[in-house]
Amino acid sequence: MASSQSSSSSISERGDEPTEQKSMPQLETLISHLLAAKRSLSSINHVWRANEIVTASRSALEESVVSSSRTNFLRRGLNTQLRLLYNVRAEVEEISSRGRHEFEEALGSLDAADARLRNTLDLLRETIVDASFRPKDEESRSLHDFVDERGVEELHGAMKNSIDRTNTARGDLDTSNRAFDDELASIKQALRHYRSATKMASSRASASSTSSASVSDSDLLALSEMPGMLQSLETHAQEMASLLESLVCHFDLCVTAVKHTEGGGAAARSITGDMPAEVQASGDGIPNIGEEINANLNAPLDPMSDQEYQEMVSVLMKDALEAEDVVMEIQDRISEMESIHEQVNVQRDALLSVSNATLDVHRHLSTLASKRLPRYISQAHNFTQVWNEENERINSGLGELSDLHSLYEGFLNAYDSLILEVARRAHVRARVEKVLHDTKRKLNQLHDEDVAAREAFRVEQGDFLPSDIWPGIGRAPMQVEFLRVSGGQLPALAEEQDPEQTGAETCPEPKAGAVDDNANGEIIPDLPKDMVEQAYERLKARGGNFF
C-alpha cells in the first residue's frame, strides 16, 4: 500500500527540486489528477505487450539456433552430395553420348557395307551370262541366278535384331535420362529457392553489420545479433515495469490524497471501482496493481498531520507534471521493442527460410538417392551391356557383309576374267592351228620330196639292185597324222579326283595322218570382240588382275 511516507518510491524520485510550500489545491484538482493517474495505468497494456515480446523473442532465438544448427549440418553434406549427383549425371550422359556416337558410326558402316553389297548384287543381276557358255536349250540367266541370297537375308535379319535391341535399350536410357533431368530441374528449383533465401538472409545480415557477409556466414551473423536484441528487449521490459511501478505509486498517492481530502472518499471509490480488467491482472515482471489498489481502498485512513498532508500533496503535484512524460517514455520503449521484435522475427524468418530451403534440397536429394538414382545408374549399365553385346554382333555382321561383298565382287571379276580367259584360249587355239597348218604343209612338202627322191633312186638304180637285197627299198615314205584328243583335267584337279576317273581321261595314241575334231575335243566359245574389250575395261576399273 502506498502512502505519503512511501513517496520516496514515487515519480518524485526522478526530480531533484526541493519541495515548495504551496496553497492547498481544491478537491476537484486532486480528482482530476486521480483520473489522469487512472488513465496512465492503461500503460500496463504496453508492459503486458513487452512481456509477450520478450517471451516471443526468446522463443524465436531458440528456434533460430535449432534451425541454424540443422542448416549448417545439412549444408556441409549437400555440397558433396550435389557434386556426386552431377558427376553421376555427367557419367551417365557420357555413356549415352559415347554409345549413341558409336551406334551411329556402326549404322553408318552397316549402311555403307550394305549399299556396296546391294550394288554388287545389282551388277550381278544386270550381268547376263553369254549364251555360248550355257547349253543351247537353256533360258537366259544372269550371274545373280548362280548366287544363293539366303545368307544375305539371314545376315540382314540378324543385323535388324541387333539394331532394334540397341534402339530399345537406347530409348530406355533416353527416357531414364529425361527423368533424371527432371529430377535435376526440381533440385535446381529447390536450389534457386535456397539461394534466394540465403541471399535475403545475407542482405539483411549485411545491412545490420559493418562488414559484408557471405551466404554461408549470413545465418551466423543473424544469430550473433539476436542475443543482443533479446538483451535490449529485456532491458526495455524491465525499465517499463519499473516505470509502471512508479505510475502505480503515483496512482496510490492520488487515491490517498483524495481520501484524506474532505468529501473525497466517495469520489475515490467511484473512480477506482471500474478499473480495467488489465489492471486487475498480473504477470511475470508486472506489478499486481489490482491487489495494491484494493488494499489501499479498503484500508482505514491513518491519521495525518497538516504538514504530512501538505508534503504528500506537494509530491503529488510534482509527480502529476512528470506522469505524462513517464507514459510517453513507456510508449517510446514499447515502440522500440516492437521494432526490435520485428527485426528478430525477420532474422528468424530468414533463418527458417534458409533452413526450409535447405531441407527441401535435402529431401529431393535423399529421395533421389534412395529411390530413383539406382534405377538411372542401372539403366546406363544395362545400355552399356546391351550395346557391348550388339556391337560385337554388328562388327561380326560387318565382317560378313564385307566377305559377301568380296565374294560377289570376286564373282564379277571372275566372270570378266573368264571372258578374257576364253579370249586367251581362243588366241592360243588360233596359234596352235597356225602351227599345225604350217607343220602340215612342211611335212607334206618333205613327203613329196622324199617320194620324188625315192622314185628317182628306183629309176636310176633299180635295174642294178636285186629286189631282195632290202625289203624296204620299194616302200613309200611314212605320213604323219594329227589326232585331236581331250586335254582332261588340269594336273592339280586330276590329283584330287579318283584314279579310275583320271585313267578314263587318258588320251589314245595319235594315229598317222588323222586330225580329231570331234565332240570330245575342247570347245572354245566364239565371243564378240566388244564383249572381251568391255570385260577388260571393267577389270581395269576394279583393279583386277590380268594375265
pLDDT for 27 equals: 83
Q: Verify that 454 and 495 share a domain, yes or no.
A: yes
Residue at a domain's end among 396, 427, 455: 396
Q: Verify that 136 and 217 share a domain, yes or no.
A: yes
Q: Verify that 501 and 536 share a domain, yes or no.
A: yes
Written in H, E and C, the secondary structure of 65-82 is HHHHHHHHHHHHHHHHHH
Q: What is the pLDDT confidence band of residue 508, given thresholds at 50, 70 and 90?
A: very low
pLDDT for 307 equals: 83
- The pLDDT tens digits of the residues spanning 427-441 come to 999 998 999 999 999
Q: Verify that 367 and 428 share a domain, yes or no.
A: no
Buried-exposed string 144-170: b where 16+ CB fall within 10 A, e elsewhere: beebeeeebeebbeebeebbeebeebb
CA distance 186 to 179: 11
Check pLDDT > 70 for residue 41: yes
DSSP state for residue 498 in the 8-state scheme = -
CA distance 451 to 473: 12
- The pLDDT tens digits of the residues spanning 490-501 come to 776 666 665 454
pLDDT for 12 equals: 41
User: Once rounded to an integer, what is the mean pLDDT over residues 281-296?
Assistant: 56
pLDDT for 276 equals: 59
Check pLDDT > 50 for residue 17: no
405 in a structural domain: no
262 in a structural domain: yes
CA distance 226 to 341: 10
Check pLDDT > 60 for residue 66: yes
pLDDT for 518 equals: 43
pLDDT for 527 equals: 87
CA distance 11 to 245: 9
189 in a structural domain: yes
User: Once rounded to an integer, what is the mean pLDDT over residues 407-423?
Assistant: 90
On whether the CB atoms of residues 360 and 73 are closer than 8 A, the answer is no
Q: For the chain, what percent of residues have pLDDT higher than 90?
A: 29
95 in a structural domain: yes
On whether the CB atoms of residues 323 and 11 are closer than 8 A, the answer is yes
On whether the CB atoms of residues 152 and 165 are closer than 8 A, the answer is no
Q: Verify that 389 and 448 share a domain, yes or no.
A: no
Q: Verify that 177 and 68 share a domain, yes or no.
A: yes
Q: What angle do CA 117, 122, 128 make, to 5 degrees?
A: 130
Indicate the length of the chain as a whole number: 547
Q: Verify that 372 and 493 share a domain, yes or no.
A: no
408 in a structural domain: no
Task: Please count the other Cβ atoms lying within 10 Å of the Cβ belonging to residue 34.
Answer: 26
Q: What angle do CA 306, 312, 314 make, to 5 degrees?
A: 100
Q: Which three cell numbers stand for residue 508?
A: 589314245
pLDDT for 283 equals: 52
547 in a structural domain: no
Which range of residues forms the domain containing residue 523? Answer: 415-463+474-541
Return the biggest CA–CA distance within the chain. Answer: 221
533 in a structural domain: yes
Residue at a domain's end among 341, 367, 396: 396
Q: What is the pLDDT confidence band of residue 70, given thresholds at 50, 70 and 90?
A: confident
User: Once rounded to an integer, what is the mean pLDDT over residues 456-473?
Assistant: 85
pLDDT for 161 equals: 95
Q: Verify that 133 and 95 share a domain, yes or no.
A: yes
Minimal CA–CA distance to 265: which of 530, 542, 27, 41? 27
User: Once rounded to an integer, what is the mean pLDDT over residues 179-198?
Assistant: 83
Check pLDDT > 90 for residue 442: yes
Check pLDDT > 60 for residue 452: yes
Residue at a domain's end among 366, 396, 426: 396
Q: What are phi and psi of 311, to 5 degrees?
A: -65, -40
Q: What is the pLDDT confidence band of residue 206, given thresholds at 50, 70 and 90?
A: low
CA distance 2 to 10: 9
Strand partners, 142: 128
Q: How many helices (H) and strands (E) does the chain have?
A: 12, 0
User: Once rounded to an integer, what is the mean pLDDT over residues 304-318?
Assistant: 83
CA distance 499 to 85: 78
10 in a structural domain: yes
Check pLDDT > 70 for residue 210: no
Check pLDDT > 80 for residue 216: no
Q: Verify that 374 and 443 share a domain, yes or no.
A: no
Average pLDDT along the chain? 80
- The pLDDT tens digits of the residues spanning 346-386 come to 888 888 888 888 888 888 888 888 888 899 899 999 999 99
Q: Verify that 431 and 499 share a domain, yes or no.
A: yes
Q: Verify that 292 and 380 share a domain, yes or no.
A: yes
- The pLDDT tens digits of the residues spanning 106-147 come to 999 999 999 999 999 999 999 888 888 888 888 889 999 988
Q: Verify that 134 and 176 share a domain, yes or no.
A: yes
Q: Choose between 28 and 6: higher pLDDT.
A: 28
Written in H, E and C, the secondary structure of 516-539 is CCCCCCCCCCCCCHHHHHHHHHHH
On whether the CB atoms of residues 66 and 353 are closer than 8 A, the answer is no
If you search the block for the grid coordinates 540397341, which residue do you land on? 166
pLDDT for 275 equals: 64
Domain count, the chain: 2
